[in-house]
């Protein structure tokens, strides 16, 4: 399996950006430590059960997302690039297929810009999911901010 990050066009990407009032190290920790990631990953109302989390290039991340009312959604992912504390990229081996490229950039003291890109092989695949995931990605970031607030206590 290839570990290359997809080369995409804006038409085959869904991008969510958020400025967070936390340090780059803390934000990276929330993304890279399973005991924090499981608390915030997914849209509002979703919970997670992680079965494997091997945070290294080539490492596997397997988990079940539990819907708020019904549904369990299996996810199989592989980390393809990690540059602590600047970048995490992974690819999904479960459908829908896409890659995630997340960058972390300090913009001021205790202020970081997170850019979360969903990369699709085709514009059509991107268009199918875009109406559903844009708002859900924002909910995901809302949950991240709540987790970060708990981490500094």
3-state helix, strand, coil in the chain (%, to 5): 30, 40, 30
Q: Across the chain, how many H-helices and E-strands are there?
A: 3, 7
Q: What is the pLDDT of residue 1?
A: 42
Domains of the chain: 10-151 (3.30.530.20)
Q: What is the pLDDT of residue 149?
A: 97
- Of the two residues 153 and 42, the one the predictor is more confident about is 42
Measure the CA–CA gap between 110 and 77, rounded to whole angstroms: 30
Q: Say which residues have a Cβ less than 8 Å from residue 47's Cβ, sequence separation at least 6.
A: 38, 65, 66
Q: Which of 141, 33, 147 is nearest to 84 (CA)?
A: 33
Please state the rounded mean pLDDT for residues 65-94.
96
* pLDDT tens digits for range 29-57: 999 999 999 999 999 999 999 999 999 99
pLDDT band at 4 (very low <50, low <70, confident <90, very high): confident
The answer, yes or no, to whether residue 78 has pLDDT greater than 90, is: yes
Q: What is the DSSP string of 5-56?
A: PPP--GGGEEEEEEEESS-HHHHHHHHH-HHHHHHH-SSTT-EEEEEEE--S
Measure the CA–CA gap between 79 and 133, rounded to whole angstroms: 21
The answer, yes or no, to whether residue 3 has pLDDT greater than 90, is: no
* pLDDT tens digits for range 99-151: 999 999 999 999 999 999 999 999 999 999 999 999 999 999 999 999 999 99
């Amino acid at each position: 399996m290839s570990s290359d990050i997809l080369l995409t066009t804006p038409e085959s990407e869904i991008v969510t950006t958020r400025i967070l009032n936390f340090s780059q190290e803390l934000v990276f920790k929330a993304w890279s430590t399973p005991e924090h990631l499981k608390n915030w990953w997914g849209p509002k109302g979703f919970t997670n059960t992680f079965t494997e989390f091997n945070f290294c290039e080539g490492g596997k991340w397997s988990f079940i997302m539990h819907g708020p009312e019904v549904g369990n959604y299996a996810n199989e992912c592989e980390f393809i690039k990690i540059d602590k504390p600047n970048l995490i990229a992974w690819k999904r081996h479960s459908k829908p297929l896409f890659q995630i490229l997340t960058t972390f950039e300090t913009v001021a003291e205790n202020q970081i810009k997170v850019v979360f890109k969903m990369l699709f092989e085709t514009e059509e695949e991107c268009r199918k999911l875009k109406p559903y995931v844009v708002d859900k990605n924002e909910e995901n970031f809302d949950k991240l901010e709540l987790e970060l607030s708990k981490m500094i206590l």
